[in-house]
Amino acid sequence: MAGSTFGNIFKITTWGESHGKGIGVVVDGCPAGLSINEEMIQAYLNRRKPGQTKYATPRKENDTVSILSGVFEGKTTGTPISLVVMNETQRSFDYSEIATYYRPGHADYTFDSKYGFRDYRGGGRSSGRETIGRVAGGAIAALILKELGIEVFAYTKSIGEVTIDYSQCKKENMQLSPLYMPDLNASAKAEDLLMAAMQEHDSVGGVIECIVSNVPAGIGDPVFEKLDANLAKAIMSIGAVKGFEIGDGFRCATKKGSQNNDPFHIENGNIMKLSNHAGGILGGISDGSEIVLRAAIKATPSIMRTQQTINKYEENIDVSIKGRHDPVIVPRAVVVVEAMTAITVLDMMLSNMTSKLSGIKEFYKKTK
């Protein structure tokens, strides 16, 4: 498998390395007739841009997106949409040292094992910049979901030990937090924690939660293409993610059936559940409740602290990784989680349109 394509009907194919000429994505299978322009996509990309706060690398990258195809007179045409962000500034950093050893926690060794060598400049294809294509493609998916009345919303649930309870937060506060953490007290504590880590030349991990509202019941397939299985793949495919949960996730393991089952209830003709331990998915198919998922993000592996590793001469050495690195990956990954979730949910909604013969007959009757 080539590995750079995600999705079955709404499909993104990403390309580009950290220090190549550019980074991009081809979005194929986008339905015709969506109003779209570069500003709409740029708004998503800006959320992952570095240099926004002191907790992100101060590198200046404009990351300006261009639409090269698939849009005519302001609307998608149904043909592939090519989106490109050119790498404007020639990076001056000298990578010759990094080229000689394997950074712990990075993909240097595994790339060399797989391909025989690697593009070592800034991590090459395994750089965080690879997510630009995901976010640009995810922006389009999110815009389509919005047309269907569906919202995808992610936020920083925890940084290190600082965790928040979203049910006690105002969603709007997220924009006020440099860490995208909607509980501003907790956000301030997390900032302190980050400052301390930076002083120790160290880095911190955390958790992102994503909530999808208004997905109709019936989306997802029963066996291998379960909605949660596809969400798991989507989220685990983001670099630095080490765990995935749907609904109560690992907390289910210590709960009884009577505690974990969500009772169905009907009120004023609306079917609902009295709780949502399941996170909106039963048997791999959406149940009409909010879909709730979480991703565990490891601490940034590039740290200035001295670490042991080996070099290409197969010697054990000590290294201290220089350069401008985020002390935490979580805040910039929030929009990436949103993007991958949007693509997955949209793709399965499109796939779901052929589940009933009656729906197909209705569709083609209307077409004529």
Binding of its own copies by 350 (CB under 8 A): yes
Q: For 130, which DSSP code?
A: G
Distance CA 40, CA 172 (A): 20
Q: Which of residues 94-113 bind its own copies (CB under 8 A)?
A: 102, 104-107, 109-111, 113
Single out the segment in contact with its own copies by CB under 8 A; choices: 44-52, 56-64, 179-187, 263-271.
263-271
H helices present in 99-226, as ranges: 108-115, 131-147, 184-199
Token pair 């996509």 is at which residue? 41
Distance CA 151, CA 149 (A): 7
Angle among Cα 234, 278, 226 to the nearest 5 degrees reads 40
> Residue 155 in contact with residue 333, Cβ under 8 Å?
no
Q: Which of residues 26-85 bind its own copies (CB under 8 A)?
A: 26, 28-29, 31-34, 66-70, 72, 75-82, 84
The residue from 90, 114, 167, 172 that contacts its own copies (CB under 8 A) is 114
Q: For 167, which DSSP code?
A: G
> Residue 237 in contact with residue 292, Cβ under 8 Å?
no
Pair type for strands 75-76 and 281-282: unpaired
Q: Which of residues 140-179 bind its own copies (CB under 8 A)?
A: 144, 147-148, 158, 160-161
Residue 138 CB, nearest approach to its own copies (Å):
13
Binding of its own copies by 182 (CB under 8 A): no
Binding of its own copies by 226 (CB under 8 A): yes
Token pair 């609902």 is at which residue? 272
Q: Which of residues 121-140 bind its own copies (CB under 8 A)?
A: 124-126, 130
Distance CA 325, CA 105 (A): 14
Q: Which of residues 313-332 bind its own copies (CB under 8 A)?
A: 314-316
The residue from 216, 312, 322, 324 that contacts its own copies (CB under 8 A) is 216
Binding of its own copies by 232 (CB under 8 A): yes
The residue from 10, 55, 155, 180 that contacts its own copies (CB under 8 A) is 10
Angle among Cα 362, 363, 365 to the nearest 5 degrees reads 65
Binding of its own copies by 191 (CB under 8 A): no
The residue from 61, 151, 225, 290 that contacts its own copies (CB under 8 A) is 225
The residue from 98, 152, 299, 337 that contacts its own copies (CB under 8 A) is 299
